[in-house]
Amino acid sequence: MADAVTVVFFLVALSSIPICVFASTEGAHDSFASSIATTSKKQQQLLRFDRKGEFRILQVADMHYGDGKSTPCLDVLPKQFAGCSDLNTSAFIHRMILAENPHLIVFTGDNIFGFDAMDAATSMNAAFDAAISSNIPWAAVLGNHDQESTLSREGVMKHIVSMKHTLSQLNPPEAKVIDGFGNYNLEIHGVEGSSVVNKSVLNLYFLDSGDYSTVPSIPGYGWIKPSQQLWFQRTSMKLRRAYMSKPEAQKSPAPGLAYFHIPLPEYASFHSSNFTGVKQEGISSASVNSGFFTTMVEAADVKAVFTGHDHLNDFCGELTGIHLCYAGGFGYHAYGKAGWARRARVVVASLEKTEKGGWGAVKSIKTWKRLDDEHLTAIDGQVLWSKSSAGSRRKKQIGRV
């Protein structure tokens, strides 16, 4: 487990990390638009695959950040408790950045634990500081605890959008009426100089899965509403048409990944023989099924979904061509299991080589997790999707599969 001294070490070490690949655009990519003051800046940033043909995403789930060093850790071994605080969460992020050098960091909700944060803005500034100080772009969605401090749900998302190096958006400007805050998409373009340099070869969807039901007759957690699903359908269709049209028309849609906080009811479809990872608690989905899984299946581009919320689950299983994955609990002020290391999920998309030796479309999408132990042990490597086989599963106790 990292301690407060380790935090200082990693802050210094981060200065040697190369900046993520960025390119400029003339503002033609609507997906980076935002309805607040940072719009013009974000339209200048374009994510793309690096010159090795890779794009790496680090998922951080459930930081539950409070008030920093005064916020105690939960569910750790007795020998680990002394001096353990939110700073251990920050140190873990720094360690992961050093180990994986991601192109994008994605925070999937419960970024702060509102009840234990004296001031929401201050807590968020500290929670996201590790990503900000690395100069790596990042994106976030909301969980069910982020709004329980001094800011409303909308206020929390507006603050996130105003922060440095974030590509988060309040909501898509083209969607005049949409539920929640933090529904947006990001496009990942091909390698500079490749035939698909001007196309998004990997699409990321971010959605606000809500907090708690506002319908008196429906108990429990929130869900992805029809207005959000309509936005997703239209966005997916627009991206598919652009990818399969000239120039460099592709034969099938670009793969997509979806990130949100609360798992879908379909996560309960798995048992120990058909997933990779562990299931140590129930699936805390909404008590109603909004149909969003079916919506994604019909769109035919999303290959994997990544959520948090249930900290003791970190499994990943395939259902009807889509992998449903947990990241596992990350934050030290979040509930966990003593002796079961905090963890993070990494996703790497790799491009295929063209006949001329350049880089083409996405060839495969792989994932693994790293534990916050002495060696940042990598576990549960698996292929989520491959262009040739439409996805296969295999288990390995290594990091880069």
Reading the chain (401 residues) residue by residue, the pLDDT tens digits are 444 434 333 333 433 333 344 443 333 333 333 343 344 344 446 899 999 999 999 999 999 999 999 999 999 999 999 999 999 999 999 999 999 999 999 999 999 998 999 999 999 999 999 999 999 999 999 999 999 999 999 999 999 999 999 999 999 999 889 999 999 999 999 999 999 999 999 999 999 999 999 999 999 999 999 999 999 999 999 999 999 999 999 999 999 999 999 999 999 999 878 999 999 999 999 999 999 999 999 999 999 999 999 999 999 999 999 999 999 999 999 999 999 999 999 999 999 999 888 999 999 999 999 999 999 999 999 999 999 875 444 444 444 44
Structurally, at CATH architecture level, domain 54-386 sits in 4-Layer Sandwich (3.60)
Residues 6 or more apart whose CB falls under 8 angstroms from that of 68 comprise 85, 86, 87, 126
Q: Reply yes or no: is the peptide bond before residue 247 cis, omega within 30 of 0.
A: yes
pLDDT at residue 1, rounded to an integer:
47
What whole-number distance in Å separates Cα of residue 296 and Cα of residue 302? 6
pLDDT at residue 390, rounded to an integer:
53
pLDDT at residue 135, rounded to an integer:
96
For residue 397, count other CB atoms closer than 10 A to its CB: 10
pLDDT at residue 28, rounded to an integer:
34
pLDDT at residue 121, rounded to an integer:
97
pLDDT at residue 292, rounded to an integer:
98
What whole-number distance in Å separates Cα of residue 243 and Cα of residue 63? 36
pLDDT at residue 36, rounded to an integer:
38
pLDDT at residue 27, rounded to an integer:
35
pLDDT at residue 46, rounded to an integer:
86
Half-sphere exposure (Cβ direction) of 376: Cα atoms closer than 13 Å: 16
pLDDT at residue 357, rounded to an integer:
85
pLDDT at residue 45, rounded to an integer:
66
Beta strands in 332-371 (DSSP E): 343-353, 359-371
What whole-number distance in Å separates Cα of residue 349 and Cα of residue 291? 27
Residue 105, φ and ψ in degrees, nearest 5:
-110, 130
**Closest-CA residue to 232 (of 297, 170, 283, 286):** 297
